[in-house]
Amino acid sequence: MIKRSFLKKKAGKTGKYGRHSIATRWMVNTLLVVSIMLIVANVCVYYFTRQYYYGSAESYVVSEANAAQMVLTRLYEDMAVNYSSEVREMIVNFDKKDRMELMSINKNGEVSLSSSGFSPDKTYYMPDYEAALQSDDKTGIFLGYDNGENILAVTKIIEKPSSNYRALRFVASLSMIDRQLAGIMFACVMISVFVILAVVMTGLYFVKSICVPLVQISSTAKKLATGDFSERIPITSNDEIGQLSRAFNDMANELENSEQIKNDFISSVSHELRTPLTAIKGWAETLGGGYEEETFAKGMKVINGETNRLEQMVEELLDFSRIQSGRFSLHMQTIDVIAELEDALLLFTERAKKENITLTYNEPQFMCAVVGDKSRLRQVFINVIDNAFKYTEAGNIDVFAKKNESSVVITVADTGCGIASEDLPKVKQKFYKANRTKRGSGIGLAVADEIIEMHGGTLEIESTLGAGTTVTIALPLAVKEE
């Protein structure tokens, strides 16, 4: 059990940057590409540098051989000069012994004399000499290893009828050039290692700046999925990852607010349902135990009113459900919107008297034809006016309408408690209630705003805390057929 627990912990630690993680894939791919590029670059550097140094050495040795051949040609043409003696003297007094060795080859193909004083045995193989014999320009070149040493050999045929010397052979060791090449390649390898280390270090820093926030986002997302909305991602940059973290935090804030609004809505609806049900149950028990006619009439009135209140609340919830699911439909026809507004106002006449509220309606002297659903528009007017009554105590509610070229504007203004500035942008959101002491589900305005929007209009709210609220509804006029 302990071993299994340890393995789980270890897997959890290594899993953050596992084989399939962005960090691992990025590092592997980057190192692979960089390594291939560095290998190709080093091979190219070695090839071209070697070609340059070896080419320079070959040109130098060939030029020395050509110069010697020209000197010997002039000497051979001078009848007063002992040609063989001059060749021997050239080899013995060769002034570039520190750079190369000069050999003479006789007509038997053997080295007869060397500037180093040491002559190889008769079996010594000279591929450049063989190549010179076959060449049109009487020149042979060999580049390779001889007795374990990398050499460059150039042979020039100088055969003359009266001389035993057939060719001169210039041999230069390439050991110094090879050491220089090795030094250059060592420097290139060190630079490549430094580049790889720099890529690894900068890559790890870069990958860390991406993967750490992503791991935090993943961890936070898992917590959000479990219902923990308190976690937030620290923002350490303004790049795309920082913007993603900021957007994620905004989403978490919205989810937290939505969760809070949902909980408040459930609490509010529970309260709104319990209040009328308690009244209905109380009066039902009262009437069930015997009653007078006056008590019966009063009880039935309460039961009827609370039932209507429940029915209205259920209808709001059903409307909201239909809107959310896309099943909300309108029965559009040309109607007089002023008539629907007046029908809605009639429902509040008695209520205004009971609550000591002055309800003023500036009745317009014109008709306003709009294309809409009369019952839904009346529902919107009732909801807006009902809200005005809820938040106004012994004050004034003014309703008036005006018409312009393309729309009709209906305004409901009250002198109630008003709405705080921080709550004003949210009052049309679902489940939101600025004043939780007032009855209602908190979705009436959200449904009303959706209905007006489906009619192609707007519902705007202006309010000052303690001074009242003004709701303005604008609906497009019906287009006259010509």
Instruction: Tell me the pLDDT tens digit for each residue of 316-344.
Output: 777 767 766 677 778 889 999 999 999 88
Distinct helix (H) and strand (E) counts, the chain: 11, 12
**Cβ pair 209, 238 in contact under 8 A:** no
The fold for domain 240-322 equals Helix Hairpins (1.10.287)
Extract the tokens encoding 281. 């149950």
DSSP tag of 78: -
Enumerate the β-bridge partners of residue 143: 152
Q: Report which residue type is found at 181.
A: L
For residue 168 the two structure tokens come to 């001169």
Phi, psi values for residue 226, rounded to 5°? -90, 0
pLDDT digits (tens, 9 = 90+) for 64-109: 988 888 888 787 777 666 778 888 888 888 888 888 999 888 888 8
Average pLDDT value for the chain = 82
Token reading at 302: 């309460």
Tokens of 419: 């709405």
Q: Please state which CATH number belongs to domain 12-225.
A: 3.30.450.20
Query: What per-residue confidence (pLDDT) applies to 446?
Result: 82
Cα 366 off chain centre by: 58
Angle in degrees, 0-180, between the axes of helices 374-390 and 444-454, rounded to the nearest 10: 140
Q: CA-CA distance, 292 to 259, in Å (whole number)?
A: 49
pLDDT digits (tens, 9 = 90+) for 228-240: 878 888 887 788 8
- Tens of pLDDT, residue by residue over 347-394, are 888 888 888 999 999 888 778 889 998 888 988 998 899 889 988 888
Give domain limits for the chain. 12-225, 240-322, 330-476
Residue 163 clears pLDDT 90, i.e. is over it: no
- Furthest C-alpha separation in the chain: 167
The domain made up of 330-476 has a fold known as Heat Shock Protein 90 (3.30.565)
Adjacent-strand bridge partners of 104: 113, 168
C-alpha–C-alpha distance, residues 264 and 358, integer Å: 33
Identify the residue whose tokens are 């050495």.
57
Tokens describing residue 45: 């550097």
H or E stretch at 140: strand 139-146
